A and B are shown apart, each in its own frame.
Chain A
Amino acid sequence: MKSKIWLIIKREYFTRVRNRTFILSTILLPLFILLFVFGTAYLTSKSQGEKQKIAVNDQSGLFKSSFRDKANIEYDFTTEVNENNFAQKGYTAFLFIPENYSSSGDSIKLVSAKQINIATQDDVKDGIDEAIRNKVFLENHIDKKLLDSINKVKPEQLYRFSAVVNKGNKTEHSNPLLSYGIGFGSGFLIYFVLIIYGASVMRGVMEEKTNRIAEVIISSVRPFQLMAGKIIGIAAVGLTQLFMWFILVIILLAAGTFFLSHGLAANTDSLQAALASQQGSSLPSEFLSAKSTFLSANWLLIIPCFIFYFLAGYLFYASLFAAAGSIVNEDPQDAQALTIPITMPIILSFVLMTAVISNPDSTLAVWGSIIPFSSPIVMMARIPSGNVLPWELILSIVLLVGGFTFTTYIAAKIYRTGILLYGKKVTLKEIGKWLFRKS
């Protein structure tokens, strides 16, 4: 008996792993993500790379010292340009500062031919704010020299900051950004697996049913063995894919470290600048320190939990997908209608995760991570924060194991009958009868 389910697992596994789409998706998906991240960074850097020339007509005469040229923004104080001819004179935008600007009266106006980018607009506003602040200081008799030296102070150079979590006997570095990243990443991966591999289970069952091969096989093995073999085989495919992604990430990470720590970075100044301006600091040091904090995360807890929630969440939903596949009757619309009630909770869990990830201790987050429908995704978003209490984790695990045992049990009952039923639309009432029938 055991060897029969093993045969099924092997078939499900190898036919999928040898498939071209599996190999392509395994290699291409991480590359696509990488390409997307670096691609957007590159495009942003390129758009910022274009020099923004801004003509300023300052009738108040207060602003000149506050607008400093940046790498790609140039301010030109002139009275010869107006809002109708700035484009012809080669300016990106025209800033008009009236003599008597006020919050209720004349406004300071920035005119551009095209939508101006956010960074430039922010720089202009920063300049205005600084000039006005200086004016207020001076009006209140603060010495100009003193003011200049205050303005030169960079607070972040005057202190060191460390956030720690005090856990009674030991303290740990707090890194909310890292927790966020790991939590979101693993939550997303599980979401992805549930949807993609769940659908794969369903398609497999439908194939066997519509091909009528189920009938040939059910005469040799029990329906439950066929269903379980398929689910386990596909789970193994998922683990394989995950493992390969893991290896790929390690390789890319190693390559990244090498790339950034060997001065090659000089060639990609603008790219770094772009990434840096998005993240608010310079990239190589951020990357390297991120790598060390990355290793500081509690991987000994995260990895086993991830594998558990990955598999248990998959088992919870895969058997439901199998049951749905077994009652479909060739009509693809049937399949759609049956998938919706199963994918809805998965999508809702994902939405819930994005809502609770920045606040992993809220009541919503705690209960979302305990109830089996959403726990695989939501719990993984919470675990990296280190704030999950032991009882929450244990309750969540127990409920999820109970949950997938229950879904597998009812799915097996539906599957057993559904897989051999042809040409008939199944009503909910009938499914109810199958559930309560003795075997």
Chain B
Amino acid sequence: MPLLELRNLKKYYSGHKAVDDISFEVSGENIYGLLGPNGAGKTTLLRMITGIILPDEGDILFQGKPFDPMNQIMKIGYMPEERGLYKKMKIGEQALYLSMLRGMTKKEAVKQIKYWFEKFEMQSWWNKKVDDLSKGMGQKLQFVITVLHQPRLLILDEPFSGLDPVNSNLIKQEIFNLSKQGTTIIFSTHRMEQVEEICNKIILVNRGKKILDGDLTKIKEDFKENIFKIGFSSTPDYFEPQSFDIIEKKDLESFIRINKGYHPSDVLREYLDHGASIHLFNEILPSLNEIFIKQVNEIQSIPAFSEPN
């Protein structure tokens, strides 16, 4: 049984289709990358999953039952993209307040806050105000607040925007830890390279529609174009290749595409036959960015990717 299942979800805003018939499911110790350019409908989708807004049509099932946000929100941790905290409230009180709003008891909440504050070396922050924190510190706090009720499903909307490399890494490690402990994670972003680094599954959306979803490695396999990189110790004599085309040629490096019906061994044989000495032979898988652009272009031209703010 999937942890979360979306069936034909639709949400329209005054004639504009923010989410237009999206279905997918998430489960297990997986980290899902929800990908799409700004305005693709990611935030609307996440807001429906977190019960902030209701879908116009379609069903959300959580652990096999229709999603009841008010009672199941305890099992979900959501860190919105535009994150916020009360600036004038003391940090300890704030964490306690937000946990109790989710439904934790005071005792439980205090225990968890202490655990996480210790883990992230934030103990001395308890009586400080958010105003006194740097942006990165604020983000760490936000992450702690999102996870301290031990959610089954963790939804992170652009969790790394504005974080320095050290804290970025800290949170990345924590995401892996939580995933290993059985938390299902949905990670929304428009930064493809982060997805390749962190996620093992992806869901691509654009203009309110799902374009693609599945295993990251499998998708890459599916979209590979048989391109290889070859590094030479000594270059071959000139010859007309049979099994491949040369895409790009540099001094001691070539990028080639294998022709239909041939194998990498055919390429190597041809090179060796012509006196080349090879020290590197590597398949080049398409980057997510390339896959994404290709997929989107097949449907329509996409808006330019842009940084938030």
Q: B69 CB to closest chain A CB, in angstroms?
A: 7
> Is the contact region of chain B dominated by helix, strand, or loop, or is it mixed?
loop
Bound state CA distance, A221 and B73, in angstroms? 9
Q: Among A212, A218, A221, A433, point to the contact of B82 (Cβ < 8 A).
A: A212
- Asked whether any CB of chain A lies closer than 8 Å to the CB of B252, the reply is no
Which A residues lie within 8 Å of B89 (CB)?
11, 15
Q: What is the interface residue range for chain A against chain B?
A: 20 to 34
Which B residues lie within 8 Å of A207 (CB)?
86-87
Which B residues lie within 8 Å of A8 (CB)?
101
Closest to B83 in A: A212
Q: Among A216, A221, A433, point to the contact of B83 (Cβ < 8 A).
A: A216
Bound state CA distance, A222 and B71, in angstroms? 12
Of residues 1 to 48 in A, which have CB atoms within 8 Å of B's CB atoms? 1, 4, 7-8, 11, 15
Interface string of A273-297 (1 = CB under 8 A from B): 0000000000000000000000000
Which B residues lie within 8 Å of A4 (CB)?
101, 103
Q: Among B47, B53, B84, point to the contact of A213 (Cβ < 8 A).
A: B84
| A430 x B14 contact (CB < 8 A) | yes
Bound state CA distance, A420 and B88, in angstroms? 21
Which B residues lie within 8 Å of A208 (CB)?
84
- Asked whether any CB of chain A lies closer than 8 Å to the CB of B78, the reply is yes
| B85 x A218 contact (CB < 8 A) | no
| A219 x B50 contact (CB < 8 A) | yes
- Asked whether any CB of chain A lies closer than 8 Å to the CB of B97, the reply is yes
Which A residues lie within 8 Å of B145 (CB)?
216
Q: A119 CB to closest chain B CB, in angstroms?
A: 52
| A11 x B97 contact (CB < 8 A) | yes
- Asked whether any CB of chain B lies closer than 8 Å to the CB of A243, the reply is no
| A7 x B52 contact (CB < 8 A) | no
| B86 x A213 contact (CB < 8 A) | yes
Bound state CA distance, A127 and B131, in angstroms? 70
Closest to A211 in B: B84
| A219 x B69 contact (CB < 8 A) | yes
Of residues 97 to 121 in B, which have CB atoms within 8 Å of A's CB atoms? 97-98, 100-103
Given A4-B101, A7-B100, A212-B80: A219 and B87 within 8 A (CB)?
no
Which B residues lie within 8 Å of A422 (CB)?
82
Q: B207 CB to closest chain A CB, in angstroms?
A: 18
| B84 x A216 contact (CB < 8 A) | yes
- Asked whether any CB of chain B lies closer than 8 Å to the CB of A215, the reply is yes
Given A1-B70, A215-B82: A7 and B14 within 8 A (CB)?
no
Bound state CA distance, A90 and B51, in angstroms? 86
Bound state CA distance, A1 and B103, in angstroms? 9
Bound state CA distance, A211 and B14, in angstroms? 26
Interface string of B62-83 (1 = CB under 8 A from A): 0000000110010010101011
Interface string of A406-434 (1 = CB under 8 A from B): 00000000000000101000000010010
Of residues 190 to 249 in A, which have CB atoms within 8 Å of B's CB atoms? 207-208, 210-222
Given A219-B51, A220-B101, A430-B14: A211 and B86 within 8 A (CB)?
yes
Q: B274 CB to closest chain A CB, in angstroms?
A: 61
Q: What is the interface residue range for chain B against chain A?
A: 20 to 34
Q: A351 CB to closest chain B CB, in angstroms?
A: 35
Q: B235 CB to closest chain A CB, in angstroms?
A: 56
| B88 x A219 contact (CB < 8 A) | no
Of residues 177 to 192 in A, which have CB atoms within 8 Å of B's CB atoms? none
Q: Among B52, B76, B85, B100, point to the contact of A211 (Cβ < 8 A).
A: B85
Which B residues lie within 8 Å of A214 (CB)?
84
| A420 x B47 contact (CB < 8 A) | yes
Which A residues lie within 8 Å of B78 (CB)?
216, 219
Q: A135 CB to closest chain B CB, in angstroms?
A: 76
Bound state CA distance, A211 and B103, in angstroms? 22
Q: A102 CB to closest chain B CB, in angstroms?
A: 75
Bound state CA distance, A214 and B50, in angstroms? 13
Which A residues lie within 8 Å of B103 (CB)?
4, 220
Closest to A422 in B: B82
Bound state CA distance, A218 and B69, in angstroms? 10
| A213 x B69 contact (CB < 8 A) | no
Q: Among B14, B85, B86, B87, point to the contact of A433 (Cβ < 8 A).
A: B14
Q: Which of B84, B86, B89 has the most CB of A within 10 A?
A: B84
| B52 x A219 contact (CB < 8 A) | yes
Bound state CA distance, A215 and B98, in angstroms? 12
Bound state CA distance, A215 and B78, in angstroms? 9
Which B residues lie within 8 Å of A430 (CB)?
14
Of residues 32 to 69 in A, which have CB atoms within 8 Å of B's CB atoms? none
Which A residues lie within 8 Å of B51 (CB)?
219
Bound state CA distance, A207 and B51, in angstroms? 22
Closest to A439 in B: B54
| A7 x B82 contact (CB < 8 A) | no
Which A residues lie within 8 Å of B14 (CB)?
430, 433
Closest to B142 in A: A216
Q: A18 CB to closest chain B CB, in angstroms?
A: 10
Bound state CA distance, A4 and B51, in angstroms? 16
Bound state CA distance, A11 and B100, in angstroms? 12
| A219 x B83 contact (CB < 8 A) | no
Q: A200 CB to closest chain B CB, in angstroms?
A: 13
Which A residues lie within 8 Å of B101 (CB)?
4, 7-8, 217, 220-221
Which B residues lie within 8 Å of A1 (CB)?
70
Q: A16 CB to closest chain B CB, in angstroms?
A: 10
Q: B306 CB to closest chain A CB, in angstroms?
A: 14
A residues bordering B, Cβ < 8 Å?
1, 4, 7-8, 11, 15, 207-208, 210-222, 420, 422, 430, 433
Task: List 6 A-B pairs, Cβ < 8 Å.
Answer: A15-B88, A210-B84, A213-B86, A214-B84, A221-B70, A221-B101
- A-B pairs, 10 with minimum CB distance: A212-B84, A211-B84, A213-B84, A212-B82, A215-B80, A220-B101, A219-B50, A220-B102, A218-B52, A219-B78
